A and B are shown apart, each in its own frame.
Chain A
Amino acid sequence: GQQLNQSPQSMFIQEGEDVSMNCTSSSIFNTWLWYKQDPGEGPVLLIALYKAGELTSNGRLTAQFGITRKDSFLNISASIPSDVGIYFCAGHENAGNNRKLIWGLGTSLAVNP
């Protein structure tokens, strides 16, 4: 099935550093979503974006819906140890009766205290 290109695949950073990750698609999306998965848990929705160019923040997290509608970015500022986990992007194409999301493979984030 179709997948999003999510990068980087993994990151190992020092506490306090900023983090950037992104997702690209060959299709145009109407919605971009960012999820975080803690070890042993289900993914949790962090940010949803509904409009090209939209920039949305959730605490230290900021996500952007790319102008081309084919990409999205997530930034984490001043990372802390509890930011550790896997971050997934997902997109939705509003075509016909499409009821499914397309997912990236995730970015695994490790934070060194």
Chain B
Amino acid sequence: DAGITQSPRHKVTETGTPVTLRCHQTENHRYMYWYRQDPGHGLRLIHYSYGVKDTDKGEVSDGYSVSRSKTEDFLLTLESATSSQTSVYFCAISESPETQYFGPGTRLLVL
């Protein structure tokens, strides 16, 4: 299994508060991705990174920002959490864009 961890694994927060999720890898893979998974919507890409300090938006990027200051860490920030951001968040890593390996996920509940 790819060495990829996510923290926290579970979080409950209140509407309007900032939240940061962390993805950490030990594989030295170039690409890192943040997805959200909701019933009926499958996996939707939020943001991705193709190198340190190189990031780009996915299809559902509004309300989210990311940062990648080191190869091993990719942070996802919800600037002001809303109830619509209640979801399960997955990080994925890959050496090439085709074959992505997923972390265990973070369950976020915004009250």
User: How far is B44's CA from A30's CA once the two chains are assembled, in angstroms?
Assistant: 21
User: CB within 8 Å of A: which of B67-111?
Assistant: 90, 92, 97-105
Most B C-beta atoms less than 10 A away, residue of A30, A41, A42, A43: A42
Is B105 touching A42 in the complex (CB atoms < 8 A)?
Answer: yes
A10-67: which have CB < 8 Å to B? 30-31, 33, 35, 40-45, 48, 50
**Interface residues in B, total, Cβ within 8 A:** 23
Which of the four size classes fits the interface of chain A? 20 to 34
Cβ distance B52 to chain A, nearest Cβ, rounded Å: 15
Q: Per a CB cutoff under 8 Å, which of A42, A48, A90, A99 touches B50?
A: A99
Q: Which of A1, A41, A88 contacts B59 (CB 8 A)?
A: A1
Say whether A103 contacts B43, CB under 8 Å. Answer: yes
Quote the shortest CB–CB distance from A85 to chain B (angstroms): 13
A92 at the B interface (CB under 8 A): yes
Q: Which residues of B contact A33 (CB under 8 A)?
A: 98-100
Known contacts A1-B59, A41-B104; A31/B98 CB under 8 A = yes
Chain A, 79-113, CB within 8 A of any chain B CB:
88, 90, 92, 98-101, 103-106
Taking a contact as CB atoms closer than 8 A, the residue among B40, B42, B98, B99 that contacts A103 in the complex is B42
Q: Give chain A's interface residues, CB within 8 Å of chain B.
A: 1, 3, 30-31, 33, 35, 40-45, 48, 50, 88, 90, 92, 98-101, 103-106
Measured CB to CB, the residues of B under 8 A from A are: 31, 40-45, 48, 50, 56, 58-59, 90, 92, 97-105
